[in-house]
Each structure stands twice: as C-alpha cells, then as structure tokens.
Amino acid sequence: MIEPLLDGMVGTAADRCEPLLREGNTNCGGCGMSIALNFLSHAVSRRPVQMVIPACCGIVTPGKFPNSAYGAPVVAATFASAAAVATGLARVAQLNGDDTRVVCFAGDGGTYDIGMATISAAAERNEDILYICYDNEIYGNTGGQRSSATPMGASTTTTPRGKGLDKKDMLSIMAAHGVPYVASVSLGHPEDTMRKMSHALETRGFRFLHVLSPCPTGWKSEPSEGIALVRLAIRAGLFPVVEVFDGWRTVINVEPEMSREALEEYLARQGRFRKGSGDIEAVRRAVEQHWKSLRARAALEDRDD
Ligand SMILES: Cc1ncc(C[n+]2csc(CCOP(=O)(O)OP(=O)(O)O)c2C)c(N)n1
Ligand code: SF4
C-alpha cells in the first residue's frame, strides 16, 4: 500500500523501520532496479539513510504526491546536480554529527552521460556519499534511447539496427578517481550484493556501486528471467564482478567461463539483440580485451601481496 509522504520518513534509524521500496510503486514487473532496492533495504537495515534520485525511472517509482512508495526521505534532483545535492546532504549530516548515509541512486543515462561531470567532481573531492548506478543499459524512463552504457549490438529507439559501439567502462573510470571503494554488484549472487552494499554503506568517503539491472521493457525479455540473464552476462564475461579498493587494489570476485554458449544464450533471450547481434566475434573480442586489462590490474595486487 502507498503510504502518506511523511509517514516514517524523518530518516532516523528508529523511525524508518520499513522497506526502502514499498508496495504500490510504479516499477514494471521484473524490474532489476526493484530487486536492487530490496537488497539495499536489507543492507541499510535501520541505519538512517537519505536518498537523492535524478530524473530516471527511480524517481517515478514513488508514485504521485502526496504519497510515496519510498520508505526513506528522497530528494528529486536534476541529472546534473544529483551528486552535488547528495554532497550537500552528506556535509549537513557531518556538521550535525549524525550517522546518516546519503545514497545517490541513478540510472546509467544519469550516471554515464548526463550527470558525469558532477559525479566526477564529487569523487575527486572524495565526498562522503554512496553512489549506486542501476544500469539497465538504456534511457528507460523516456522510452529506451541508447546511452553510453548500451552494449554493442543492442537495438534501442535511437539505434534501431543495433548499437555499433562498445559499452563505456564506467567502473574503471570511477576507480581511476582513487576513491575508497568501487565495485560491480551481481544481483545473481545475493551474498555478493549484500556484502558489497553493506561494505559500501559502512565505508566513508566516495563509494560507487555498479549494478547490472535487467529491464524487461527495454531488453525485450521475460520479466521472470532477469536474474538468469545477469548470471548469463557474468558467465559470458560481459559483466565482470569485481571490487577496486583505493583506486588500485583490484579483486575479481567471480571467475567467468567466457563461454560462447553463454554469450549466445544471453543474446538470444533478449529481443533487443535480435537485429544487431550479428557480429558475435566482435563482441567476444571486446570482452577478451577488457578481461586482459582487468587481469593485469588484479595481478598487480597479487604481486604486492
Ligand atoms: C538534462 C536532462 N536531459 C534529459 C532529460 C530527459 N530524461 C528524463 S528521464 C531520462 C532517461 C534517464 O535514463 P537513465 O538515467 O538511464 O535512467 P532510467 O530511466 O533508465 O531508469 C531522460 C533522458 C532530463 N530530465 N534532463
Ligand atoms: S522501464 Fe525498465 S528500469 Fe524502468 S521501471 Fe520498467 S523495467 Fe524498471
């Protein structure tokens, strides 16, 4: 049920004893963003939390004012200001000496493209915020245009024949800021998700979590298959599950099979790849190249041990 806006939303640990994502939200069935929010809710537990959400699907989620399907205080921000607004809230919490964690929660369009400058600035200053990008690999809220997170071959409303470019490596870009914690999160491995969300909430300074977030509407996939698709993406090597500490110490959490079968099945189960996934070899080459660089960085860590 959708609750009145102010009920249980003062943001203190004692007052907020309900899920972050309530019933009555507007998310599509099978939305990976809902799954991510439910995990986050468990990880947050009774910690005081404030959220900042730019103009993505996640800001439509709460439904119509004066009600909200969010069980925490949420500030709706513009794309360009989201990380700056979160910075302001975190500084106020610090000045007040309270333990509030500020979470910026945004889609890939708001993160990889439109909000990039402010995110980079907040990371450079090592602001005390947790930035979570739920990556559905399109601009979902405006009908599914391509973003720089859209993978090669995926058709969107602006790449009807399939995108010809590879996905931007946002994780490495964020790690290169030298911030305390950057990780990719697998919704297909609950223990991975919970551990990383809990660690990211505990850590102070700028933290970045990247969540591959199935979007049945944009991926043209079955709503019930989201988690299976995440696991296939990992097995195919398309979504490396890693952590980077302090900008350099790289840990690979899940070893992928890198099998052609997993890649083919991943592509075949989604309508978005029906037109443009022709060059599987090009996709495989890009994946292998990315893994080479990832392994080289992880090996640096081994040598230091
Ligand atoms: C500066 C600016 N440009 C464009 C828009 C229009 N717009 C609203 S939501 C949206 C898509 C956001 O996509 P993403 O951040 O990936 O989140 P999703 O909708 O997929 O959850 C766009 C382009 C806007 N609100 N502000
Ligand atoms: S369009 Fe995609 S990301 Fe947006 S609510 Fe629907 S399933 Fe979720």
Q: What is the DSSP string of 30-58?
A: T-HHHHHHHHHHHHHTTS-EEEEE-SSHH
State the total domains in the chain.
1
Could you give the CA distance from residue 172 to residue 176 in angstroms, rounded to a whole number? 6
Q: Which domain holds residue 125?
A: 3-304
Predicted confidence at residue 300, as pLDDT, reads 86
Looking at per-residue pLDDT, the higher value among 5 and 99 belongs to: 99
**Which residues share a beta bridge with 51?**
74, 103
Whose atoms come closest to the Cα of 142: which ligand?
1
Report CA(156)–ligand 2 centroid distance (Å). Answer: 14
Indicate the range of 2-11, 15-24, 88-97, 286-295 predicted with least confidence: 2-11
Name every residue whose Cβ is closer than 8 Å to that of residue 66 and which is 6 or more positions away in sequence. 4, 5
Looking at the CA of residue 141, tell me the nearest atom of ligand 1.
19
- In tens, the pLDDT along 115-126 reads 999 999 999 999
Predicted confidence at residue 11, as pLDDT, reads 43
At residue 133, the 3 state secondary structure works out as: strand
Could you give the CA distance from residue 272 to residue 28 in angstroms, rounded to a whole number? 17
Name every residue whose Cβ is closer than 8 Å to that of residue 18 and which is 6 or more positions away in sequence. 8, 71
Report CA(292)–ligand 2 centroid distance (Å). Answer: 32
To which residue do tokens 């939200």 refer?
A: 25
Asked whether the beta carbons of 75 and 53 are under 8 A apart, the reply is yes
292 pLDDT more than 70: yes
Ligand 1 binding pocket (C-beta < 6 A) is: 55-58, 79, 106-110, 114, 136, 138-142, 147
Predicted confidence at residue 5, as pLDDT, reads 39
| Torsion angle of C-alpha atoms 134, 49, 103, 121, degrees rounded to 10 | 180
**What average pLDDT score do residues 126-137 get?**
98
Of residues 95, 92, 89, the one with CA closest to residue 73:
89
Packed helices 82-96 and 116-124: angle between N→C axes, nearest 10 degrees: 30
Predicted confidence at residue 18, as pLDDT, reads 77
- In tens, the pLDDT along 136-192 reads 999 999 999 999 999 999 999 999 999 999 999 999 999 999 999 999 999 999 999
- In tens, the pLDDT along 20-56 reads 999 999 999 999 999 999 999 999 998 999 999 999 9
Report CA(215)–ligand 2 centroid distance (Å). Answer: 5
Could you give the CA distance from residue 107 to residue 100 in angstroms, rounded to a whole number? 23
**What average pLDDT score do residues 194-220 get?**
98
Asked whether the beta carbons of 113 and 148 are under 8 A apart, the reply is yes
69 pLDDT more than 60: yes
The pair of structure tokens assigned to 302 is: 């081994």
Whose atoms come closest to the Cα of 215: which ligand?
2
Predicted confidence at residue 275, as pLDDT, reads 79
Minimum CA distance residue for ligand 1 atom 8: 55
CATH number of residue 209's parent domain = 3.40.50.970
Which contiguous run of DSSP H or E holds residue 210?
Answer: strand 207-212
Looking at per-residue pLDDT, the higher value among 236 and 9 belongs to: 236
The pair of structure tokens assigned to 244 is: 């980077």
12 pLDDT more than 90: no
Minimum CA distance residue for ligand 1 atom 24: 55
Predicted confidence at residue 177, as pLDDT, reads 98
Looking at the CA of residue 78, tell me the nearest atom of ligand 1.
26
